[in-house]
């Protein structure tokens, strides 16, 4: 995904975020630019007068100085106003852009999040959302603030010597060309270091993120991860340096060209004074203002070498997401009927960038009211099967029929609930944590709180220590996730290893709870613990992405060797 013309689009977004602010802000910048041109003329008059020995126009000198001082003062005042505006405008644009991005990403098909390249794109796009304004600002500053002054200076230069403006143009063109070449380097840096940057973030997380630091500390893994982190840093440095060293050499060339240009212009001007082609006043005024021209050029160069090209690259990623209409989005009208049956017909599925199929040619029918347990070794495809059944992922080949018909464009999420292995630990109150699964419902949460045995907690207290709330134990969080899953009013529920953080004594009680809460629902439980399957009336045994057993416990003990092995190995533990 690439988005062309990031600059034009940035202008459009920044303008439409607030037209009055845009006009007011950049109108002031233009006013500053126009005012900037006045001192050049005033200075010329000033220097011309003071170098005259006779007939010095004292009044004129003071007037010229007064104009310079006044213009500078007004300019500073305007700058103060524009900086104030800048912050306000910036906050507004950033908020609008992040909202746009979030709105688009929320429509993405869940499968896209499994592709690390998309995660990189998201990271760059969020960065980019903050930079649209910077692009517009840099360009308009050059166009509105510097250009009027430059026009006056070019006019003076032209009147001194017709070649002088030409020299300025040649320098500008060369600088611009070099910038274009540099831009390519920066684009490459972004591309080639994306994976390494992700590694750095991940390893840093292993060292300090809440979910990891305990294990890292206890197992003494700091050194191990630090070495990985250093290696990633070093690799990134090497890659960046490869491009940077080229870019920096070009930078050196640019600076050299600017310096040579400046010196030659001054020399020519000096010769003009000697030949009396221009007055000392023009010479002095140009010398003072010429700095502005070169500052502008350097500003232009710095804006780029300080990463405007990198910034443009990130803004491109922003537009790549915002402009795209996700064709794979699962949306449209919610499914009207309740789900009575789900049928998989020769369904295969593999994750992005993976050649191995996680699900291989599965055909399966699940009917309303069934209580199904899915068992099998790690990596056998249990979770993937649930993601396919629930419509989170779409199959690579084969069909999934809901009530006998393919989904087309209907959402079925409203008809289902799920408790995943990586459930959310939301930093909101206990009550909200439960209500999140059915935000439109006013039903009491009390029965479910009682059912999951969380009555000891105040339902209004904010949970998680992220924002200073109270932290729950792993088991309590899991109970809460289960309560949330069952609070949702729907007939179809998936439970993916729902008891992994709960001790075995409680586990038995919870499986009974699933049984009671899920009595009138269709439930599909993915589990390692075969103790739980006594509440299931049908068991699916998975191996290598296939279903190799489908039946009751008794049937499978007779027919399915893998099931028998798993059962016996677990039973042995309890003997």
* Site for ligand ADP, rule CB under 6 A: 114, 351, 354, 358, 376, 378-384
What is the rounded distance in angstroms from the CA atom of residue 105 to the CA atom of residue 100? 9
Of 487, 454, 460, give the one whose Cα is nearest residue 472.
454
- How far is 246 from 357, CA to CA, in rounded Å? 43
Name the residue nearer to ligand ADP (CB basis): 383 or 523: 383
Beta bridge partners of 549: 541
DSSP class of 240: H
Most distant CA pair in the chain: distance in Å?
121
Smaller CB distance to ligand ADP: residue 148 or 376? 376
Considering the complex, what minimum distance in angstroms separates the CB of residue 386 from ligand ADP? Answer: 8
Which position has the token pair 């999934």? 400
CA dist 401 to 104, 116, 166, 511, Å? 28, 30, 72, 29
Q: How far apart are CA 108 and CA 129, in angstroms?
A: 18
Distance CA 391, CA 412 (A): 7
What is the Cα–Cα distance from 153 to 37, expressed in whole angstroms? 8
Closest to ligand ADP by CB, 78 vs 110, is 110
DSSP states of 334-353 as a string?
Answer: BPSSPP-EEEEEEEEE--TT
Q: Per the structure block, which two tokens stand in for 433? A: 């944590």
- Compute the least distance from the CB of residue 106 to ligand ADP, in Å: 20
Closest separation in Å from C-beta 194 to ligand ADP: 18
Supply the minimum distance, in Å, between the C-beta of residue 358 and ligand ADP: 3
Least distance between ligand ADP and beta carbon 377 (Å) = 7
- Distance of closest approach, residue 510 Cβ to ligand ADP, in angstroms: 20
**Considering the complex, what minimum distance in angstroms separates the CB of residue 334 from ligand ADP?**
26
Q: How far is the CB of 354 from ligand ADP (least distance, A)?
A: 5
In this structure, what token pair is assigned to residue 93?
């644009």
Nearer to ligand ADP, 182 or 380 (CB): 380
Closest CB to ligand ADP among residues 140, 542: 542
Quick one: 240 or 360, whose CB is closer to ligand ADP? 360
Give the Cβ contact number of residue 90 at 10 Å. 17
CA angle, residues 305, 3, 118, in degrees to nearest 5: 95
User: Phi and psi for 72 in degrees, rounded to 5?
Assistant: -65, -40
Q: Which is nearer to ligand ADP, 29 or 384 (CB)?
A: 384
């Amino acid at each position: 995904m690439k988005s062309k013309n990031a600059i034009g689009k940035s202008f459009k977004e920044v303008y439409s975020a607030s037209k009055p602010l845009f006009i007011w802000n950049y109108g002031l910048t233009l006013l500053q630019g126009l005012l900037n041109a006045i001192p050049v003329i005033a200075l010329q008059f000033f220097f011309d007068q003071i170098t005259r020995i006779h007939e010095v126009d004292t009044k004129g000198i003071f007037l010229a100085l007064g104009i310079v001082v006044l213009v500078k003062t007004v300019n500073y005042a305007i700058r103060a106003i524009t900086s104030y505006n800048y912050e306000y405008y910036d906050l507004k644009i950033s908020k609008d852009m992040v909202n746009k991005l979030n709105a688009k990403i929320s429509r993405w098909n869940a499968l896209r999040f499994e592709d690390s390249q998309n995660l990189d794109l998201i990271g760059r796009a969020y960065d980019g959302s903050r930079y649209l304004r910077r692009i517009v600002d840099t360009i308009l500053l050059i166009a509105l603030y510097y250009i009027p002054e430059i026009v006056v200076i070019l006019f003076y230069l032209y009147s001194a010597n017709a070649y002088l403006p030409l020299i300025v143009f040649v320098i500008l063109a060369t600088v611009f060309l070099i910038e274009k070449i540099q831009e390519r380097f920066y684009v490459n840096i972004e591309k080639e270091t994306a994976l390494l940057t992700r590694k750095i973030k991940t390893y840093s997380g292993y060292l300090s993120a809440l979910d990891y630091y305990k294990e890292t500390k206890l197992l003494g893994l700091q050194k191990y991860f630090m070495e990985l982190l250093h290696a990633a840093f070093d690799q990134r440095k090497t890659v960046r340096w490869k491009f940077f060293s080229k870019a920096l050499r070009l930078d050196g060339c640019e600076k050299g060209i600017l310096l040579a240009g400046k010196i030659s212009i001054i020399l020519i001007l000096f010769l003009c004074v000697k030949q009396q082609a221009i007055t000392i006043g023009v010479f002095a005024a140009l010398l003072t203002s010429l700095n502005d021209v070169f500052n502008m050029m350097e500003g232009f160069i710095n804006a780029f070498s300080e990463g405007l090209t990198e910034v443009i690259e990130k803004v491109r990623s922003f537009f790549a997401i915002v402009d795209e209409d996700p064709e794979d989005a699962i949306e449209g009208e919610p499914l009207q009927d309740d789900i009575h049956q789900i049928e998989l017909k020769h369904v295969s599925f593999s994750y992005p960038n993976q050649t191995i199929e996680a699900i291989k040619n599965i055909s399966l029918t699940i009917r309303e009211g069934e209580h199904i347990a899915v068992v099998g070794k790690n990596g056998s495809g249990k979770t993937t099967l649930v993601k396919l059944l629930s419509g989170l992922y779409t199959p690579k080949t084969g069909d999934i029929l809901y009530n006998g018909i393919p989904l087309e464009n209907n959402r079925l999420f409203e008809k289902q609930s799920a408790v995943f292995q990586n459930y959310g630990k939301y930093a909101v109150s206990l009550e909200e944590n439960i209500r999140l699964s059915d935000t439109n419902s006013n039903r009491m949460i009390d029965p479910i709180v009682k059912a999951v045995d969380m009555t000891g907690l105040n339902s209004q207290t904010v949970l998680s220590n992220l924002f200073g709330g109270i932290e729950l134990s792993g088991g309590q969080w899991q109970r809460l996730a289960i309560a949330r899953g069952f609070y949702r009013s729907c007939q179809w529920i998936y439970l993916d290893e729902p008891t992994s953080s709960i001790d075995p004594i409680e586990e038995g009680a919870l499986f009974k709870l699933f049984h009671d809460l899920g009595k009138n629902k269709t439930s599909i439980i993915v589990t390692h613990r075969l103790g739980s399957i006594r509440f299931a009336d049908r068991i699916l045994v998975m191996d290598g992405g296939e279903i190799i057993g489908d039946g009751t416990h008794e049937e499978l003990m007779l027919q399915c060797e893998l099931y028998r092995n798993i059962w016996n190995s677990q039973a042995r533990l309890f003997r």
